[in-house]
């Protein structure tokens, strides 16, 4: 669809309309979760057979050591590519790592103690495509964070898991791999079954069933976020190589039928040129059946200088590519984006695989308040507070006054008890 946007509100209304909510799917997910909680393995095996054409039991639901060896049979050049990706992702994650910190102030020690979750469950999709890259992108941040136990869930159609998934898991030293997908996998990780040990946090992208399930279990278990269909926004001008822009858009659209793309420009002629090239590419690509549907989700936005930046931030896209003559003048002004790719030689596809930053990114305008998956996703912070007696004596009266205003007199009395002992000289250490 080609559209001229002159008011930001027009775009907001359009984005809101495009976020479909399917209550039927939500109810199905709730039923699956309820049954997993109640019937555990029995329900997990039932839904695995129903959706993946695979009838598991307590032994076959989990990948064996013998099955893991299948990963070693993949092509050597693919092994090398995945190893390169591993090193680059790990290097970036190490730069992101945060450490505990403390400071002292007049008899006080304050700070944050940062520790990893004990056990994480990661999810790698396995329906319409095979995603060893998602195994790396999800597991490596957990490894760098220091998570002790990492379990992987991925759908196993007919009981088989892609050897590429298995090799990626072996690179991450993951041996606990379950042949399960969808809402049933999320529920099994969240609540545990006889065969699946529950986790503290679930991370990794999935389909709409996985997303609804993560939303339902949040609170009983941690989640990384809700990753919707893939999306890309490409900023172009009269200098943009139209073929590059078109290729990058098609690359994201081939993920699934609901994938989205936005092309934003002051130059309407360039938008028409890119649109024409995409139409031709869709006819020739191998995943044409998907692309013919997702191409309907492309929005070509012709706007003016005044609304240019606000439109990019309103869309708050997962991937933002800036393919203009002076991209470095634009990117610092973008506040809402999952990942920003600068220039003609930094396509989002590099970010999908080997650039280093994570490819699990906020979608559906969630870049307004969410960040990419990182080691921080798998870490939690505990505030640390220590006061000496003198520091307590100096600061407690301020807290007591606030407690009085709030009508919480037991709060005040907890402090007053200590103040009285200090004044009478009967205080403990």
| Residue 61 near residue 36, CB atoms below 8 Å | no
Whose CA is closest to 189, among 89, 380, 61, 375?
61
Angstrom distance (rounded) from CA 377 to CA 145: 9
Alpha carbons 103 and 23: distance in angstroms, whole number: 50
Query: Can you tell me the distance from the alpha carbon of 116 to that of 63, in angstroms, rounded to the nearest whole number?
Result: 26
Q: Is 319 a catalytic residue?
A: yes
For β-strands 108-116 and 101-104, DSSP reports them as: antiparallel
- Please give the full DSSP string across 135-195, using - where no structure is assigned: HHHHHHHHHHHT-SEEEEEE--GGG---HHHHHHHHHTT--EEEE--HHHHHHHHHH--SS
Tokens representing 243?
Answer: 């073929």
Tokens of 216: 């339902």
Query: What is the number of other CB atoms lying within 10 angstroms of the CB of residue 357?
Result: 21
Q: Choosing from 319, 325, 359, 406, which is the catalytic residue?
A: 319
b/e for 109-123, b at 16 or more Cβ within 10 A?
Answer: eebeebebbebbbbb
Contacts of 132 (CB under 8 A, 6+ apart): 82, 124, 162, 164, 165, 167, 168
- CA separation for the pair 315, 317 (Å, rounded): 5
HSE-CB at 335 with a 13 A cutoff on CA atoms is 7
Q: Which of 216, 275, 318, 321 is flagged as catalytic?
A: 318
Where are the alpha helices (H) located in 172-294, listed in sequence order?
Answer: 182-191, 208-217, 242-253, 268-284, 288-294
CB 343 within 8 A of CB 207: no
Host H or E run for residue 67? helix 65-68
Half-sphere exposure of 132 (CA within 13 A, CB side): 24
End-to-end CA separation in angstroms for the chain:
73
Where in the sequence numbering do the catalytic residues fall? 318-319
């Amino acid at each position: 669809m080609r559209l001229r946007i002159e008011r930001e509100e027009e775009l907001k209304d359009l984005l809101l309309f495009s976020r479909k909510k399917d209550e039927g799917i939500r109810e199905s997910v709730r039923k699956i979760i309820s049954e997993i909680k109640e019937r555990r393995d029995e329900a997990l095996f039932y839904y695995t057979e129903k959706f993946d054409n695979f009838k598991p039991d307590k032994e076959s639901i989990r990948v064996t050591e013998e099955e893991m060896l299948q990963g070693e049979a993949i092509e050597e050049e693919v092994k090398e590519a995945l190893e390169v990706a591993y090193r680059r992702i790990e290097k970036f994650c190490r730069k992101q790592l945060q450490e505990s910190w403390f400071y002292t102030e007049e008899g006080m020690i304050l700070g944050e103690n940062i520790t990893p979750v004990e056990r994480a469950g990661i999810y790698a999709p396995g329906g319409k495509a095979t995603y060893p890259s998602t195994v790396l992108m999800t597991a490596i941040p957990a490894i760098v964070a220091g998570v002790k136990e990492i379990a992987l869930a991925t759908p196993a159609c007919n009981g088989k898991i892609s050897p590429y998934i298995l090799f990626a898991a072996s690179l991450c030293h993951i041996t606990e791999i379950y042949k399960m997908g969808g809402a049933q996998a999320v529920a099994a990780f969240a609540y545990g079954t006889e065969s699946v040990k529950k986790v503290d946090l679930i991370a990794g992208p999935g389909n709409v069933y996985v997303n609804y399930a993560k939303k339902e279990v949040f609170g009983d278990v941690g989640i990384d976020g809700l990753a919707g269909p893939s999306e890309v926004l490409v900023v172009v001008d009269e200098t943009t190589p139209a073929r590059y822009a078109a290729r990058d858009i098609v690359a994201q659209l081939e993920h699934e039928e609901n994938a989205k793309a936005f092309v934003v420009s002051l130059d309407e002629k360039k938008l028409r040129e890119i649109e024409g090239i995409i139409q031709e590419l869709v006819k020739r690509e191998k995943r044409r059946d998907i692309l013919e549907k997702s191409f309907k989700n492309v929005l070509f936005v012709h706007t003016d200088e005044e609304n240019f930046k606000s439109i990019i931030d309103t869309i708050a896209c997962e991937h933002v590519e800036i393919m203009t003559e002076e991209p470095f003048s634009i990117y610092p002004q973008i506040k809402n984006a999952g990942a920003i790719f600068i220039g003609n030689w930094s396509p989002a596809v590099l970010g999908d695989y080997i650039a280093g930053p994570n490819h699990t990114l906020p979608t559906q305008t969630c870049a307004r308040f969410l960040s990419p998956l990182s080691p921080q996703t798998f870490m939690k912070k505990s505030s640390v507070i220590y006061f000496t007696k003198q520091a307590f004596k100096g600061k407690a009266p301020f807290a007591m006054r606030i407690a009085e205003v709030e009508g919480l007199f037991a709060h005040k009395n907890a402090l007053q008890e200590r103040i009285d002992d200090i004044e009478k000289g009967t205080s403990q250490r």
